Every structure is written in C-alpha cells, then in structure tokens.
Chain A
Amino acid sequence: NAGVMQNPRHLVRRRGQEARLRCSPMKGHSHVYWYRQLPEEGLKFMVYLQKENIIDESGMPKERFSAEFPKEGPSILRIQQVVRGDSAAYFCASSPRLAGGPTTGELFFGEGSRLTVL
C-alpha cells in the first residue's frame, strides 16, 4: 500500500515564478493537510482539504498561496510569484477520517517537497 506521495521532491524557482507542489494521499484517505517547515522552525499547519472542499485554510498566507483537492487527481499547493522567504519544505499528510477526538486519527506524512527560491 503506497504511502503519501509528493512531487517534486525538490523544486528550484527564481523569484517571481510559480511553484506547484502535488500530493497524492494514501489509498482510501480522503483528508489532506499541508504543513510547511521553514528553516530553523517547526512544522506549521497551512490548510486542510477534503475532495473539492477547503475545510480550514487558517494557516495559509493571505496572498499568493492557494490549495485545491479536485475530485480526480492529486491535491495541489500553488505558490504564485515566489519570494526567497517561501523557501521551505512543504509536507502533505493524509488521514482516513478527520484527525481528532480521543481516538485521534493518525496523520501520515509524505516525504516533503523542498522548494528553493533563488
């Protein structure tokens, strides 16, 4: 059973370009979460999506960042007009049901996409 698949693993962009990061959740998982790990920082929540719905985007920067999880295909995190401060590792996680409650659902993380902005 394949795990969470993220691609590309490494992406280099120049300032002003667009970055698209893809995430395919584990088979049978319908909940996707994106986290960002900045250098010297802990992982920070960005957005939670279900198929065709953004459930919680409270951690997303207000501008240039967007996420989607279409009915078919992977979830995509899109960063427009990238700046050097966007350089980070972006992790996607999935779960089979909402992660919450005393029987917390496990979040399965992908290997991450490392974005470098020149």
Chain B
Amino acid sequence: TQLLEQSPQFLSIQEGENLTVYCNSSSVFSSLQWYRQEPGEGPVLLVTVVTGGEVKKLKRLTFQFGDARKDSSLHITAAQPGDTGLYLCAGAMDSGGSNYKLTFGKGTLLTVNP
C-alpha cells in the first residue's frame, strides 16, 4: 500500500505554461517535504511544510499543505526547462523523535520543453 500517492505520474509541458502536481494520502503527517531529483542524482530538498493550510513560495514555486495535513500541492508558474526533474513528496508521521523516517511518494516526472 502506497501511503503517499503523487499525480500525475508523468507531465510534459511547454516552456511558459503553469502546472500543479499533487501529493495525497489518507494518513495525517506531522510535516511534509518536497524534493527535486535529477537523473543519477540524489533528492534535493525544496521546502518543508508543517502547519495545516500553510503556503510557502519559492520563486515560481508555490507549495501548499492541506488543512488536514493529509495532502499537498506544488504549483509552478511559467515553467522553464530547468524545472525538468522528478518531484518527490515525503511525509513524516511522528512529530517526536522519528521525523527522519520519511515516507516518499513515487514522484511526478516533469519535462518542460523549450
């Protein structure tokens, strides 16, 4: 059973378009992180959200944590080819001592064509 479902699995768009990718679960997470992973590389952390309803912006990227802390979305405005990569969401279920034990989704593979 996959605790974190990411959609869409694949997304191919043209430069300049907007897009939203989703991360959904039936479980509640104490915090949720978004990573970007390029081929042959390790995941790089983009953002951590911890409060239900929280919205964080990172340049053209907007991250939202659902009110119930079960889901999250990543919106990219005016996508650029450099945004191409695998976007992973990862949730931590314990706000105590084991927040390192992240549950990862399978990711959304984004391709931005020039």
Contact = CB atoms under 8 A, between A and B. Distances in A.
B44 interface: yes
Contacts of B40: 111-112
Contacts of A112: 40-42
A31 B101 CA distance: 13
Interface residues of B, number: 30
B64 interface: no
A42 B33 CA distance: 14
A98 B98 CA distance: 8
Contact of A102 (B88, B90, B95, B103): B95
Contact of B90 (A41, A43, A58): A43
A108 B42 CA distance: 9
A104 B50 contact: yes
Given A42-B4, A102-B50, A111-B41, A95 B100 contact: yes
Secondary structure of the A contact surface, majority rule:
loop
B80 interface: no
A101 interface: yes
Contacts of B98: 56, 100
A4 B43 CA distance: 12
B27 to A, nearest CB: 14
A96 to B, nearest CB: 12
B82 to A, nearest CB: 19
A102 to B, nearest CB: 5
B95 A100 contact: yes
20 contacts: A33-B100, A35-B104, A40-B106, A42-B4, A42-B104, A42-B107, A91-B42, A91-B43, A99-B100, A100-B95, A101-B95, A101-B99, A102-B50, A102-B95, A108-B45, A109-B35, A109-B42, A109-B44, A110-B42, A112-B40
Given A42-B2, A102-B95, A107-B100, 7 more contacts: A40-B106, A43-B90, A45-B101, A48-B101, A93-B42, A99-B99, A100-B94
